[in-house]
């Protein structure tokens, strides 16, 4: 498929109303909505290392294996008894570091025709502790980090 046409202003998407879900039990595929706590999602990795090497006669290019994706989800910290994602995630992390965990997000929301990004083979590799400053008025936050071998893109139906 070739890229054709041109973008117009109406095509732009703001990341202000996404759906963000985590799956604490990927074998059961039971995603839990967490966007009401989520404040930031950063995705890195997935790149392929390439090394250019030359002998005196021949230029060579070595292509490595694709690196895993690293996803960092920042969330608001709460101690509410019923709605406390920090405690659930932190308990998972302490009990089983590297536990299978997947993340799914819909940048434009979960409507028919919108793209869905889903990690495969994700592992919970970090859950930060809440922290803050006595002089600040910022909310208390924590982050979770998931490393995944791949991210699939599908279209919502």
| DSSP per residue, 88-134 | HHHHHHHHSTT-B-EEEEETT-S-TT-EEEEEES-EEEEEPPPB--T
Q: What is the DSSP letter of 67?
A: P
Pairing of strands 50-54, 141-148: unpaired
Q: Which helix (H) or strand (E) holds 44?
A: strand 38-45
Q: Within a domain: residue 9?
A: no
Q: Within a domain: residue 148?
A: yes
**pTM for the predicted model, two decimal places:** 0.86
| Cβ atoms of residues 41 and 105 within 8 Å | yes
Q: Which residues of the chain have pLDDT under 70?
A: 1
What whole-number distance in Å separates Cα of residue 129 and Cα of residue 141?
8
| Cβ atoms of residues 46 and 151 within 8 Å | yes
Q: Within a domain: residue 57?
A: yes
- How high is the pLDDT of residue 47? 95
Q: Within a domain: residue 3?
A: no
CATH number for the domain harbouring residue 44: 2.40.30
pLDDT, one tens digit per residue, over 68-106 is: 999 999 999 988 877 789 999 999 999 999 999 999 999
What whole-number distance in Å separates Cα of residue 67 and Cα of residue 54?
24
Q: Quote the domain boundaries for residue 62.
A: 17-155
- Tally the domains of the chain: 1
- How high is the pLDDT of residue 26? 87
Q: Within a domain: residue 37?
A: yes
What whole-number distance in Å separates Cα of residue 66 and Cα of residue 13?
28
Q: Within a domain: residue 10?
A: no
Q: Within a domain: residue 63?
A: yes
Q: Within a domain: residue 5?
A: no
């Amino acid at each position: 498929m070739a890229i054709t046409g041109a973008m117009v202003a109406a095509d732009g998407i703001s990341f202000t109303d996404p759906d963000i879900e985590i799956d604490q039990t990927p074998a059961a595929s039971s995603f839990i909505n967490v966007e009401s706590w989520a404040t930031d999602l950063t995705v890195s990795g997935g790149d392929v290392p390439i090394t250019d090497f030359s002998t005196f006669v021949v230029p060579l290019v070595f292509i490595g294996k694709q690196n895993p994706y690293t996803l960092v989800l920042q969330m608001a910290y709460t101690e509410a008894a019923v709605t406390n994602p920090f405690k659930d995630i932190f308990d998972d992390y302490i009990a089983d570091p590297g536990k299978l965990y997947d993340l799914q997000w819909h940048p434009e929301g979960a409507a028919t025709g919108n793209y869905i990004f889903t990690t495969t083979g994700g592992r919970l590799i970090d859950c930060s502790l809440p922290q803050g400053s006595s002089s600040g008025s910022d909310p208390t936050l924590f982050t979770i980090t998931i490393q995944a071998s791949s991210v699939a893109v599908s279209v919502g139906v």
